[in-house]
Chain A
Amino acid sequence: MRAYIIRRVALMVPTLFLVTVLVFCVIRLIPGDVIDLMVAERSDMAGMGTTMDADYIRHLLGLDVPIHIQYGRWLGVIQTPDAEGNLSFNGIFQGNLGSSLWMDRTVIDELGDRLPVSLELGAMSLMVALLFALPIGTYSAIRQDTIGDYIGRTIAVLAISVPAFWLATLLFVYPSIYLGWTPPVEYIPIAENPGANLVQFIIPAVLLGMLISGTTMRMTRTMMLEVLRQDYIRTAWSKGLRERIVVVRHALRNALIPVVSMIGLLLPILIGGTVVIEQIFALPGIGRLMLTSIQMRDYPMLSGVNVLTASFVLICNLVVDLTYAWLDPRVQYR
Chain B
Amino acid sequence: MDETIREVALVAEGVRKQRPMLIDVFVRLVREKPLGLVGGVIVLLLIITAIFADVITPYTPTEQSLADRLEPPSATHLLGTDNLGRDLLSRIIYGARISITVGLAGSALCTLVATLIGLISGFAGGKTDIIIQRFVDAWMCFPPLFIFLTVMAVVGQGLWQVIFVLGIARGIGQSRVLRGAVFGIKENVYVEAARAVGASTTRTLLRHILPNIMAPVLTIFAVSSGYLILGEATLSFLGYGIPPPTPSWGGMLSGAGRRFMQQAPWLALWPGLALCIVVYGMNMLGDAIRDLLDPRLRGGLGRYSGVEKRRAKQRARLPQRS
Interface stretch of the complex, out of B117-125, B204-212, B295-303:
B295-303
What is the interface of chain B mostly: helix, strand, loop, or mixed? helix
Interface residues of B (CB under 8 A from A): 35, 134-135, 137-146, 149-151, 153-154, 156, 226, 230, 233-234, 237-238, 240, 250, 253, 258, 261-262, 265, 268-269, 271-272, 275-276, 279-280, 282-284, 287, 296-297, 301-306, 308, 311-312, 315
Query: Which of B142, B253, B262, B296 lies in contact with A309, CB distance below 8 A?
Result: B142
Closest chain-A Cβ to B321's Cβ sits at a distance in Å of 10
Interface stretch of the complex, out of A77-85, A95-103, A269-277, A323-331:
A269-277
- For B253, the closest partner residue in chain A by CB is A169
Closest chain-B Cβ to A17's Cβ sits at a distance in Å of 8
The answer to whether B284 touches A240 (Cβ under 8 A) is: no
CA distance A157 to B150 in the complex (A): 28
- For B303, the closest partner residue in chain A by CB is A144
What is the interface of chain A mostly: helix, strand, loop, or mixed? helix
The answer to whether B261 touches A169 (Cβ under 8 A) is: yes
The answer to whether A302 touches B150 (Cβ under 8 A) is: yes
| Bitwise interface map of A from 149 to 182 toward B, beta carbon under 8 Å scored 1, else 0 | 1100110011011110111011011101100000
Query: Which of A142, A150, A170, A240 lies in contact with B304, CB distance below 8 A?
Result: A142
Query: Which of B230, B258, B301 lies in contact with A163, CB distance below 8 A?
Result: B230
A6 interface contact, C-beta 8 A: no
Closest chain-B Cβ to A299's Cβ sits at a distance in Å of 11
- For A160, the closest partner residue in chain B by CB is B283
The answer to whether B283 touches A173 (Cβ under 8 A) is: no
A51 interface contact, C-beta 8 A: no
Closest chain-A Cβ to B320's Cβ sits at a distance in Å of 9
The answer to whether B35 touches A153 (Cβ under 8 A) is: yes
Closest chain-B Cβ to A85's Cβ sits at a distance in Å of 33
- For A12, the closest partner residue in chain B by CB is B137
CA distance A299 to B108 in the complex (A): 33
Closest chain-A Cβ to B249's Cβ sits at a distance in Å of 9
Interface size counted on chain A using CB atoms at 8 A: 69
Residues of chain A with a CB closer than 8 A to B143's CB? 268-272, 275, 309, 313
CA distance A306 to B151 in the complex (A): 12
- A176-B312 in contact given A141-B304, A161-B230 (Cβ < 8 Å): no
CA distance A276 to B236 in the complex (A): 11
A19 interface contact, C-beta 8 A: yes
Residues of chain A with a CB closer than 8 A to B261's CB? 169, 172-173
Residues of chain B with a CB closer than 8 A to A163's CB? 230, 233-234, 237, 250, 272, 275-276, 279
- For A154, the closest partner residue in chain B by CB is B35
CA distance A154 to B34 in the complex (A): 12
Residues of chain A with a CB closer than 8 A to B279's CB? 160-163
The answer to whether B149 touches A22 (Cβ under 8 A) is: no
Query: Which of B134, B240, B268, B284 lies in contact with A18, CB distance below 8 A?
Result: B134
A237 interface contact, C-beta 8 A: yes
Q: Would you list the 5 A-B pairs with minimal beta carbon distance, nearest first?
A: A272-B143, A166-B272, A272-B145, A18-B138, A310-B141
- A15-B141 in contact given A162-B276, A163-B230 (Cβ < 8 Å): yes
Query: Which of A22, A141, A237, A272 lies in contact with B138, CB distance below 8 A?
Result: A22
